[in-house]
Structure 1
Amino acid sequence: MISILIFYSVLIGGVIYSYRNAAIVAFCVYQAVYFFNPATRWWGQQVPDLSYSFFIVLVIFSLFLINYKKYKENKILKAPPLRWAIILVALYWVTYFYAVFPEYHAEFATFYLKSIIIMAIVYKMVCSHEDINKMLYGFIFGAWYVSFYVFQVGRNSGNRVEGVGLVDSPDANGLAAAIAPTLVLTLHYMWVKKSLFQKALFAIAGIFIANAIILINSRGAFLGVLVGVSFYLFFMLSSSFKKAHQKKIAMLIVVLGLSGGIYLADDDFISRIKGISEQIEAKDERETGATRTLYWVAAWEMAKDYPLGEGYRTFNYYAPLYMPDTNSITKKSRSVHSTWFEVLTEVGYLGLALFLLMLFSAWRCLSQCRTQLKRQNKIDEYYKVVAIQGGFLTFIITMTFLNRMRAEILYWLIMFAAAVYNIYVVRSASREDNQSTNRPKDVT
């Protein structure tokens, strides 16, 4: 009952608030619906079977049209990550004409195109750093809710959690990848917020999210979080641009984080994490980490024969021709279990190059934001960008072990990078130019 109450409160209250106060809140509702995913939850049968995400997209689009004049300043082509994303989705549609499974490819290309269009519209609706904060709050809230749901369900399949996935990632590993970046964001807000109540809220959210990753037993998400949080803490400890007592706070966070991790981690999780360093040969019917490296080698060899890619599920179709005869599992039609090789086999070398350029440009935009904010002495915004970079890095590490080329979360992160770049670099430079132009000249 509490889940249904939260769902309707967020849905109805968020839509009303977006029309009356802040249009960007509609995207926060979209984020929440993504994580609620009522069609697959145990409480989903108690609510009408409707396409809630489609309804929210209509709300977003209507708000965009209503406030169009306000958003005209936000040019999509001035955001490098979005430019590369648009080119990549265009290539994905070109691949349709020679795809192995054209019908399936068209279905997922349509989903991909919709995702890019939504992100482009939301990007244009972001007009201030408060809008950026709201989107990040929405991300954290959605991750908290689904983590709370995982807590309720518990490990229901041996030492794993199953049946808790999302629309575009039905397996639990995909869910862990989706929520992992928010741990860096909760850490940031827990530090910069002045109110003890707000600090407590973000701390509680972080505890639930960390607990969900531990219950899911996702090694990829664990590595991603380790790298992303370490990246953020590295800046807190080493940057010359800092607040008073920042290093002491960072050390306290490390101690509390390690203590909390040790408390939450159980024997199953510890055993699974230890397995990261184990070299297990793929000789039986079980799929292991070593088996995945065989998939990656096969994908690389496959790309030599199909340099342009062959569309959706290319690897699944051709894998039996490239896998060794060591056991039966490597001869089955399997996913490649890596976004890099997923891109390579679906849209070829050109697609992989475009994908890398999209990610690199997003990272570069965030780095330029850091430089600009440091020059303007905006310390909280500076570390917010560092947190987004940490979350971005977390997802990149995690998707190395999963097929996440068309993941919603990936393009949320790309859009976040484009939006902060637009607010802190493009629009900031425009304001400075206007001030310089309007400044009265000295008369001598």
Structure 2
Amino acid sequence: MLNLTLFIVSYLGGFIMAFTSHTAWAFMLYQFIYFMNPLGRWWSYMIPSISYSFFTVILMLIVFTWKLKEHSQNRLMAAPQFKWIFMIAAGYAIASGYASLPSVHSDATINFIKMVVILSVAYKLVDTSNKLDGILYAYIAGTAYIGYLAYQVGRDSTGRVEGIGTVDAPDSNGIAAAIAPSAVLCLYFFWIHNKKLAKFSIAVAGAFIANAIVLINSRASFLAIIGGNLYFLAYMFFSSHQRTNQKSSAVAVVFMGLIAASFLIDQTAIERFLSIKEQEMTEEQQTGATRVFFWIAAMDMAKDHPFGAGAAGFEAHAPEYLPEDMDTGFSRNRSVHSTWFEALTDLGYPGIFMLIMLLYSSFWATRQTKKELARRKDFDNYYKVVAIEGALISFIIAMSFMNRFRAELLYWCVLFTACAYNIYVVKQIAEEEPANSRRRVRQTRSPQLKGS
């Protein structure tokens, strides 16, 4: 009943808050419903079988139209990331003409274009620092819910947690990658908040998230959490932009993290993580290391399909490029197990180029944002942007070992960077320009006044 009550309160509350508080609540509700995945849970028989995400998107469009004049000031193309998002969408549309699996590619293209529309509206809705905080909190809340489910379900006979995923991340590795970036955001908010209740709430959410990663036992997500959090902690300790007692706080956070890890991590998790270095690349036995053969096959495939073979193109052509005597398990039509090579085989060389440029433009935007915030000595928001970078780095690490080119979480992380750039750079420049213009007018008029 707790799951059902949480869903009903969240869904109805989100609709009300979108009209009575601020419109970004509509996207915040969409984020939480994405993780709740109500129709995919055991308690779905107690609710009507309708698309709750669809009606949440309708809510986003309604509140966007309701305050169109206000939201139209957020120009999509002011954020360079959206140019590459649109180009990737165009790439999938063009590939529809030659995709090896037309029906699979058609579904993937339609879903991707829907996601682009949602991202575009969300960018329009999130136009203040508080709203950016809101969607980061909503993401943390959603991942904490997954952590709660993992705690409820527990590991199966294989030593992992299955059946708690979302629509586009149903498997254990996919959902682990989806929640891993939120750990660094928890770290930031725990550090930045002064109120004990806020710290406690973030600590509880972080504990559920960390416990879920341990229970799910995804090696890629272990690496993702380590990479993203180390990036943030390195900034805390070595950056020249320091808040009061920042270095001692960084040491304290590391110490508390190690204590928490000693309670959460069990022998099963340790053995699985250590298996990363133990596995050997072999054709005779399928292991995690054999995915290197998939990546080599993807590069060979790209020579014959320079513009890709559409969504799931590698799966369609894998038998042609994998070694004949290689053990691939139950089927030779296997996933390429890397977003980089998924982009290469889906959309060819243009695909991998667009993915690289999407990520480059995201980090370019955050770099400009950090410069602007450092100039204003706004270090609280400066480290928020560092945490957003850490979240994106976490997902990049995880996606390097699984197919996540069209995953919502990749583009959510990119959206966070775009919103931060718009709020702290684009809008700030727009606000300063009228003041600068008035200053220039006064300066040009002052000699005339003196000479009169």
Equivalent position of 1:393 in the other structure: 393
What is the Cα-based RMSD across aligned positions, in Å? Answer: 1.2
CA deviations over 1:367-419 (Å, ceiling 9, x no partner): 11011000001011000000000000000000001100110111111111111
Mapping 1:380-419, distance limit 5 Å: 380-419=380-419
Q: For 1:232 and 1:33, how far apart are their aligned partners in 2?
A: 28
SS of structure 1 residue aligned to 2:73: coil
Give yes or no for the alignment of 1:11 onto 2:17: no
Give yes or no for the alignment of 1:317 onto 2:316: yes
Mapping 1:5-44, distance limit 5 Å: 5-44=5-44
Equivalent position of 2:274 in the other structure: 274
Equivalent position of 2:442 in the other structure: 441
CA deviations over 1:15-36 (Å, ceiling 9, x no partner): 1011111110111110010000
Query: Between Structure 1 and Structure 2, how many residues are aligned?
Result: 443
Deviation, 1:39, is 1.7
Deviation, 1:282, is 3.2
SS of structure 2 residue aligned to 1:43: helix
* Gap runs ≥5 in structure 1: none
CA deviations over 1:143-189 (Å, ceiling 9, x no partner): 00111011100002420111111100110110000000000000000
Aligned AA for 1:291? T
Larger CA deviation: 267-276 vs 39-48: 39-48
Mapping 1:181-192, distance limit 5 Å: 181-192=181-192
Deviation, 1:283, is 4.8
Aligned AA for 1:272? R
Aligned AA for 2:316? Y
Give yes or no for the alignment of 1:373 onto 2:367: no
* Gap runs ≥5 in structure 2: none
Equivalent position of 1:258 in the other structure: 258
CA deviations over 1:182-238 (Å, ceiling 9, x no partner): 000000000001101100110110010000000000010110111100000000000
Q: Is the 8 A contact 1:284 1:329 kept in 2?
A: no
Deviation, 1:119, is 0.3
Deviation, 1:127, is 1.7
TM-score by length of 2: 0.96
SS of structure 1 residue aligned to 2:200: helix
Q: Is the 8 A contact 1:282 1:290 kept in 2?
A: yes
Mapping 1:88-237, distance limit 5 Å: 88-237=88-237
Equivalent position of 1:328 in the other structure: 327
Q: For 1:19 and 1:157, how far apart are their aligned partners in 2?
A: 47
Aligned AA for 2:421? Y
SS of structure 2 residue aligned to 1:98: coil
Equivalent position of 2:288 in the other structure: 289
Aligned AA for 1:288? T
SS of structure 1 residue aligned to 2:97: helix
Q: For 1:46 and 1:173, how far apart are their aligned partners in 2?
A: 29
Deviation, 1:279, is 3.4
SS of structure 1 residue aligned to 2:442: coil
CA deviations over 1:329-364 (Å, ceiling 9, x no partner): 276111011000000001000111011101110111
Q: For 2:78 and 2:157, how far apart are their aligned partners in 1?
A: 47
SS of structure 2 residue aligned to 1:441: helix
Deviation, 1:87, is 1.0
Equivalent position of 2:77 in the other structure: 77
Q: For 2:274 and 2:113, how far apart are their aligned partners in 1?
A: 39
